[in-house]
A and B are shown apart, each in its own frame.
Chain A
Amino acid sequence: MVSVLVLSCKTEEKKEDNKKDQELTVYTHRHYESDQELFKEFEKESGISLNIVNASADELIQKMSLEGEESPADVLITVDAGRLYRAKSKDLLQAFDSPMIDSIVPSHLRDEDQQWVSLTKRARVIAYAKDRVDSTQLSTYDNLTSEEWSDKILVRSSSNIYNQSLLASIIANQGKEFAEDWAQGVVDNMARSPKGNDRDQVKAVANNEGDLAIVNTYYIGKLLNSKDEDEVKAGKSVTIFFPNQETTGTHVNVSGIGVAKHAPNKENAIKFIEFLLQEKAQNIFAGSNYEYPVNPNVEPADILKSWGDFKEDELSLNELGKNNKDAVIIFDKVGWK
């Protein structure tokens, strides 16, 4: 009975909320703790109350296109540029104008039509076993297919968007055929059939199941700061290597935000985006989630700084979206689970 009451109160509350103008509906794929903190902070600062819908970007995109003109969504946040491209190409986003955003975010991290903007960056790197591999043995992503690494590579499933975007960048840079050979080469060198998440790949290196793990940078930061001693141990057993420094640069993906085409509260949406790009919020992204901030005035976390600067692949992020489907099809063909 108590719970029934609570639920009915909730619905009442919602009705009142709707009367107020000051609200903003956020469709987000980001599920990090740091975000909760940021959302609360924004509500406090701006007096705008947030409605959060948290699901995977694809589900949210599907939901937005079904809702059409009536969609309550104001902004869409994804953890990958390819999905923003997909939302844009489905005509779910609209251009927005903010001199402040333009001045903060470098142009290659913004959509050319101003429909979305990056919030944070993450690099997909190689984490190698400190005790078994020397950094001189490593050079490029292509090098991962050499015989030397036979039975040594650990990487998660190709259903994962980070892998898809990595392959999409290879397609964009070096062509489809090359990309297929590369994917085949990596599959041939895998230490085990792909399973688990990025953290599990690092743990598998620590457990001597393989020598090289392909992972996103912020997971290493999280492992090293974990409450679980064994995770810390696993994090310490590897060193980060930024591939392709002599060539196109390390593959970088972004988490980004776009304004929904039918946003009922566009002004609030822009306020929200501006808030997320300012130093305070960017510091939280960097500090507690170990992502690279897009605001140049904000320093990355100390761990990230200790890995040094690196050359980023400055390929247009929209390319990741354009080549996403080809990437998935190649993965299927070469049997990358």
Chain B
Amino acid sequence: MNLRTKFFKFKRDLNRWSLLLLLILAIVSIPILTIGLKLFNGPGESWEHIVDHVLYDYLRNSVYLALMCSLIVIFFGVSSAWLVSRFEFPFRKQLEWLLILPLSVPAYIMAYAYAGIFGYYGLFQTMSARLGFENISLDVMNIYGLSFVLSMSLFPYVYVSSRTFFLAQATNLLEASRMLGISELKSFFKLILPLARPAIIAGLVLVLMEVLNDYGAASYYGVSTFTTGIFRSWFSLGEPETAIYLSAILLAIVFGLILLEKWQRRHLKFSSAKSSKQNYNSRVLPSKTNQVLFSSFCFIPVFLGFILPVIQLLIWTEQTFSKVWNTDFIMISIESFGIAFITSCVTVFTALLLLFFTRWNKLGLLKSSSKLGILGYAIPGVIIAIGVLIPSLTLDKWLIQNNITSKLILNATLTALIYAYVVRFLAVAYQPLESSSLKIDRSLSDSSKVLGEGNFKTFFKIEFPLIRAGLLSAFILVFIDILKELPLTLIMKPYNVNTLAVKSYEYASDEMVSSAALPSLLIILTALIPAIFLNKLLLKNASNS
């Protein structure tokens, strides 16, 4: 193809959506680009030392962690999502939303809780002593314990994304397969699992990004990963340049994962059969034994990921309540809730724009690079904070120099904080939206357009109602994530605004983990309200659509 035809193709495909998409992409990738530009300054002087002595360890541990977590979250996430969507058994309705709850426990708090449970005179030792086993101990503070703790707090990502898919999934395929005499188990593995792959992987990508940038839990358990390495080279060695180099490698790995995922579904069009109508009353009623089995199976991750750590937090709260509790906490809870609410709305809206502008845009190049916008999730919060601080301060300083303003108007304001959150959490909103929009039968929107309706009208009449379930899971996931978020909040928050996560960090970093229990419990409580409420909406939606 010569240049001329290339140019004409470009001109033909360029539409206003391409420009709008470019705008959104530019806005959300400013911080990432800022960090990228820093790469040209070269690494710090200790780079060689890092390559010689520790890089291999970082890489090996991170890969190991990612693999183990993937196995555990897929096992618990997918199987429990399938059981609650397909079968009827005792406590199914309660388990449905209980399975989301582990998300509300920040991973580092869960790490502390488990260290407490299995530590010196913890629940485990006390209980086993009571049963007559003296002096047995189980060490969780290692890479295996870390994989377990991270998986238990993150598997709901996979659970939510695959359940959203199962709920809206056509049952007629499954019915047909059952009628042809294929067993339930075989139908699941041969038919449902392959169909659910994009949804499962969408959840898994989130889990992996979160695993890769966990700092609190890994450093407490003494496991050196890429992210602890980033912190170490920045803070201990005092070389932000080196930290940025390490982040760039991490980013390349994540971007590779995303491309791999796109490539693996390159030929597949995942739109489901025409009348995708699942009546959720049509759940199968298994035998009595199986009912008990299914209930208990779904209860395991709820117990390990929520009930057990919460028991530990309650024990600690009981010890420290009188010292820690004051009325400020009510105010702080409201503030945390408010920040999370506003930011979730903005984030979900931005993700929606990103998704549909990409779809309406016809430029191939832009289409394939739209994923750049969600890379923020893989970058440790502190680095994002730097990426936001540099451009916003530059703007601030420019405004002051030109006498437009007299002081910093962006620095340490809610606007800057919310912007940073959006950059960081766009992926969390984008993944469920994308996977639910992939299920929409393309012919629906196509026919609407053929009939002369524009993109907007088609969106509101056809697509929007169909992805409502995805919108809701996007909202809830972002909301909970923001409630838990820490490093970014610490640097960016306005002075007189406080969040529960910051409060619990203050205690935990002072080695007063037991005092951190109360704010942690409040985070969990605050996250419970939307989790339960939105779970109801999710179901209602699935039954209406």
A residues in contact (CB < 8 Å) with B: 2-4, 6-7, 10-11, 13-14, 17-18, 25, 31-33, 51-56, 58-59, 62-63, 66-68, 70, 72, 86, 157-159, 161, 164, 193-200, 203-204, 206-207, 219, 222, 226-228, 230, 233-234, 324-325, 328-329, 332-333, 337
> B390 in the interface, Cβ–Cβ < 8 Å?
yes
Are B393 and A51 interface neighbours, CB within 8 A?
no
Q: A86 is contacted by which of B121, B238, B316 (Cβ under 8 Å)?
A: B238
Q: B511 is contacted by which of A62, A222, A329, A332 (Cβ under 8 Å)?
A: A222
Which A residues are in CB contact (< 8 Å) with B507?
31
Choose, from B65-73, B216-224, B348-356, B435-443, the stretch at the interface: B216-224
Closest 4 CB pairs of A and B: A3-B338, A195-B222, A51-B495, A230-B121
Can you name 4 extra interface pairs (CB under 8 A) apart from A14-B496, A62-B240, A72-B411?
Answer: A2-B338, A6-B334, A33-B510, A230-B121
A333 to B53, CA, bound (A): 6
Which B residues are in CB contact (< 8 Å) with A70?
393, 396-397, 400, 407-408, 411
- The distance from the CB of B38 to the nearest CB of chain A, in whole angstroms, is 12
A58 to B487, CA, bound (A): 12
Choose, from B101-109, B169-177, B228-236, B423-431, the stretch at the interface: B228-236
Known: A3-B335, A67-B393. A227 touches B514 (CB 8 A): yes
A5 to B53, CA, bound (A): 52
A230 to B125, CA, bound (A): 12
Are A337 and B222 interface neighbours, CB within 8 A?
yes
> B193 in the interface, Cβ–Cβ < 8 Å?
no
A161 to B400, CA, bound (A): 38
- The distance from the CB of B515 to the nearest CB of chain A, in whole angstroms, is 8
Q: B53 is contacted by which of A63, A66, A195, A332 (Cβ under 8 Å)?
A: A332
Are A193 and B222 interface neighbours, CB within 8 A?
yes
A67 to B393, CA, bound (A): 7
Are A59 and B490 interface neighbours, CB within 8 A?
yes
Interface residues on B, range: 35 or more
Are A227 and B320 interface neighbours, CB within 8 A?
yes
> B386 in the interface, Cβ–Cβ < 8 Å?
yes
Are A159 and B397 interface neighbours, CB within 8 A?
no
Known: A11-B414, A72-B408, A195-B222. A159 touches B320 (CB 8 A): no
- The distance from the CB of A225 to the nearest CB of chain B, in whole angstroms, is 11
Are B220 and A197 interface neighbours, CB within 8 A?
yes
- Mostly, the B contact residues are helix
Which B residues are in CB contact (< 8 Å) with A3?
334-335, 337-339, 341
Which A residues are in CB contact (< 8 Å) with B408?
67, 70, 72
Are B323 and A227 interface neighbours, CB within 8 A?
yes
Q: A58 is contacted by which of B238, B320, B337, B502 (Cβ under 8 Å)?
A: B238
Closest-by-CB residue of A relative to B341 is A3
- What are 13 inter-chain pairs, A to B, with CB distance below 8 A? A3-B338, A6-B335, A10-B497, A13-B496, A31-B506, A58-B235, A63-B491, A68-B393, A159-B219, A164-B236, A227-B320, A328-B232, A332-B50
Known: A3-B334, A66-B389, A332-B49. A227 touches B382 (CB 8 A): no
Q: A10 is contacted by which of B335, B502, B511 (Cβ under 8 Å)?
A: B335
Q: Which of A17, A204, A325 gathers most chain B CB within 10 Å?
A: A325
Known: A58-B234, A197-B220. A230 touches B511 (CB 8 A): no
B residues in contact (CB < 8 Å) with A: 46, 49-50, 53-54, 115, 119-121, 137, 141-142, 219-222, 224, 228, 231-232, 234-238, 240, 316, 319-320, 323, 331, 334-335, 337-339, 341-342, 382, 385-386, 389-390, 393, 396-397, 400, 407-408, 411-414, 487, 490-491, 494-497, 502, 505-507, 509-512, 514-515
Closest-by-CB residue of A relative to B318 is A227
Which A residues are in CB contact (< 8 Å) with B496?
10, 13-14, 17, 51
Are A329 and B49 interface neighbours, CB within 8 A?
yes
Are A234 and B339 interface neighbours, CB within 8 A?
no
- The distance from the CB of B519 to the nearest CB of chain A, in whole angstroms, is 13
Are B490 and A199 interface neighbours, CB within 8 A?
no
A239 to B411, CA, bound (A): 48
- The distance from the CB of B129 to the nearest CB of chain A, in whole angstroms, is 12
Known: A195-B141, A196-B222. A159 touches B231 (CB 8 A): yes
A228 to B487, CA, bound (A): 28
- The distance from the CB of A236 to the nearest CB of chain B, in whole angstroms, is 13
Closest-by-CB residue of B relative to A193 is B222
A31 to B338, CA, bound (A): 25
Q: B414 is contacted by which of A7, A17, A25, A325 (Cβ under 8 Å)?
A: A7
- The distance from the CB of A310 to the nearest CB of chain B, in whole angstroms, is 23
Which B residues are in CB contact (< 8 Å) with A226?
514
Closest-by-CB residue of B relative to A223 is B511
A200 to B396, CA, bound (A): 45
- The distance from the CB of A182 to the nearest CB of chain B, in whole angstroms, is 18
Are A72 and B338 interface neighbours, CB within 8 A?
no
- The distance from the CB of B409 to the nearest CB of chain A, in whole angstroms, is 11
Which A residues are in CB contact (< 8 Å) with B137?
207
Q: B497 is contacted by which of A7, A31, A159 (Cβ under 8 Å)?
A: A7
Closest-by-CB residue of A relative to B514 is A228
A14 to B422, CA, bound (A): 24
Are A4 and B236 interface neighbours, CB within 8 A?
no
Are B335 and A7 interface neighbours, CB within 8 A?
yes
Which B residues are in CB contact (< 8 Å) with A62?
234, 240, 386
Which B residues are in CB contact (< 8 Å) with A33?
510, 512, 515
A193 to B421, CA, bound (A): 35
Which A residues are in CB contact (< 8 Å) with B334?
2-3, 6
Which B residues are in CB contact (< 8 Å) with A197?
220, 511
A102 to B383, CA, bound (A): 39
